[in-house]
């Protein structure tokens, strides 16, 4: 019956005090996604039906919670006849939900849920009827709300890891630089010592050559050595 007349089901559901669109229906094409978002932030529940032939005034959109045990689903946000219909919206969602009417024509049935808390962790169902007599497309979203403290701790640990890694690399580079500098200085010292030793070894030869030269003999004659 819902596939044939979604608006009738919408009215019956509202009159019965439950969500406008039931959580089951033979005409619904279903998809499932899982989302994790930080607490106290907004989260987009992305629901796009790109191939839908949308009637702007006949399109019907409903977002609701999943029925748990004997509890009926809660209405998060409803849209029909070209405008929001929030008369049956659950109290805890008031002022926290938003759809995008200007995008409905493009098959965008996404919902923005603002200022989420840990209590918002759960399963949500979105139902979109592009026109009065069209079958619906359903999106089931598993929303997980993460603790900001855990995320901050993860970021802090990551920052410390990066800092320690950088310090380690700089230390290694510094040690390598000074090692090369020390090694280069050592080589220079070794060259100086070798040169001095070589000069000391060559000194007798230089002295012998000097004595055998005419200048050397003349010097010895002048000094009375010869």
pLDDT per residue over 12-37, tens digit each? 333 333 334 444 445 688 999 999 99
- Spatial neighbors of 150 by CB under 8 A, at least 6 apart, are none
Does one domain contain both 85 and 169?
Answer: no
Question: How many structural domains are present in the chain?
Answer: 2
Please give the residue range of the domain that contains residue 189.
151-222
Instruction: Specify the pLDDT at position 121.
Output: 97
Q: What are phi and psi of 213, to 5 degrees?
A: -80, 160
Report the share of the chain in percent with pLDDT over 70: 63
Instruction: Specify the pLDDT at position 163.
Output: 76
* CA 32 to centroid of chain Cα atoms: 22
Identify each DSSP E strand in 122-176 by its residue range: 122-129, 137-146
Does one domain contain both 95 and 138?
Answer: yes
Instruction: Specify the pLDDT at position 52.
Output: 86
Residue finishing a domain among 91, 125, 146: 146
- Whole-model pTM? 0.57
Instruction: Specify the pLDDT at position 184.
Output: 74
Does one domain contain both 51 and 115?
Answer: yes
Residue ranges for the chain with pLDDT beneath 70: 1-27, 149-157, 168, 175-176, 179, 186-226
């Amino acid at each position: 019956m819902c596939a044939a007349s979604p608006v009738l089901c919408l009215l019956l559901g509202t009159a019965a005090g439950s969500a406008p669109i039931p959580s089951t229906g033979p005409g619904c094409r279903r998809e499932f996604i899982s989302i994790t978002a930080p607490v106290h932030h907004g989260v987009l529940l992305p629901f796009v039906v790109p191939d839908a032939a949308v009637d702007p005034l006949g399109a019907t959109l409903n977002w609701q919670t999943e029925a748990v045990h004997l509890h009926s689903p809660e209405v998060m946000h409803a849209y029909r006849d070209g405008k929001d219909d929030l008369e049956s919206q659950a109290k805890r969602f008031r002022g926290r939900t938003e759809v995008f009417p200007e995008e409905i024509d493009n098959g965008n049935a996404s919902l923005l849920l603002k200022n989420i808390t840990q209590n918002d962790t759960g399963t949500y169902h979105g139902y979109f009827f592009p026109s009065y007599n069209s079958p619906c497309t359903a999106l089931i979203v598993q929303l997980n709300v993460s603790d900001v403290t855990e995320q901050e701790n993860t970021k802090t640990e990551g920052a410390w890891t990066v800092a320690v890694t950088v310090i380690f690399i700089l230390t290694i580079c510094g040690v390598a630089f000074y090692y090369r500098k020390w090694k280069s200085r050592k080589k220079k010292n070794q060259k100086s010592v070798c040169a001095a030793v070589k000069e000391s070894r060559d000194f007798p030869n230089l002295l012998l050559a000097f004595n055998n030269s005419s200048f050397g003999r003349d010097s010895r004659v002048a000094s009375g050595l010869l």
